[in-house]
Amino acid sequence: MLSYRHGYHAGNHADVLKHAVALQIIQYLKRKEKAFAVFDTHAGAGLYDFESSFAQKNKEYESGITKLWEIEKPHSALLADYLSLVKQFNPNGKLRYYPGSPLIAQQTIRHQDSIKLFELHSSEAPVLSGSSQQIKNRSRTQVIEADGLKAILPFLPPPSRRALTLIDPSYEQREEYAAVSHCLSKAIKRFSGGVYVVWYPCINKEESSNFSSQLSRQTEHAWLNVELHVSTQNDKGMQGSGLFVVNPPWTLAGALNEALPELVKLLSTDESAKFVLNSHAV
């Protein structure tokens, strides 16, 4: 797990889906004046430079955010908001810097809100601390060098009783699927009213294929599951990614219904690309 560096993958199709949805949820939480918290269990480095050696190795951003950058304006509001935020980190009009979920949250929250960022990697945590100090709301942000799946639980529920929790490990080890499922179950028991977003890869492995069904058994609350498959013919690599959202905002399904056809058209690598959107109401 500690060999994983998100810099190799920053801005790819999975990041586009994950970060567009995270931003949508934060914007929804801001509709009420009452404060909320953002928790990020695997925060990474925070900000990514596409000219770095990490990003240049595979240039995965070219299959993701670059495709959106090249169009004048997305049709869907969800994608338009997301692209507008990324542009804030590239004011000269050239796509070079990409904000991870920590900086997306920092750029969006208000003075009454707070962020806790967990990162276990000894090389990533200091970079994250530096990145998070460079933009607004840094006084409301805490970086914790720890395993987020375990370290997050004592912070639940937050004092405000409102929160978004993003759970997105690399899943390089099979055991991480069980660890995520266990964390989600424990978190919901401690704080049933929070919004939880679990990211997972869509790959040709049993633990991935059955993961959303497994997660749905962890909660009796409302949930939404979305998957974006840029291809269904890639038997070896990542075909796409999914998000399992517990207690989703009521606006999220509609926003995704509008955005997903556009995402499939923009990010597909072949004609087999598709999306999946399921939900369960209480």
In angstroms, the Cα distances linking 233 to 111, 179, 273 are 46, 29, 9
Which residue among 49, 168, 235, 270 is the active-site one? 168
In angstroms, the Cα distances linking 113 to 66, 74, 154, 158 are 31, 29, 18, 11
Strand-strand pairing, 274-280 and 223-229? antiparallel
Phi/psi at 28 (5° precision): -65, -45
Closest-CA residue to 143 (of 107, 122, 115): 115
118 three-state secondary structure:
strand
Q: Which residues contact 270 (CB under 8 A, 6 or more apart)?
A: 231, 233
Q: Is 81 a catalytic residue?
A: no
Q: How far apart, in whole angstroms, are the C-alpha atoms of residue 171 and residue 259? A: 26
CB 249 within 8 A of CB 36: no
206 three-state secondary structure:
helix
**Residue 15 CB coordination number (10 Å):** 24
Mind telling me the catalytic residues? 168
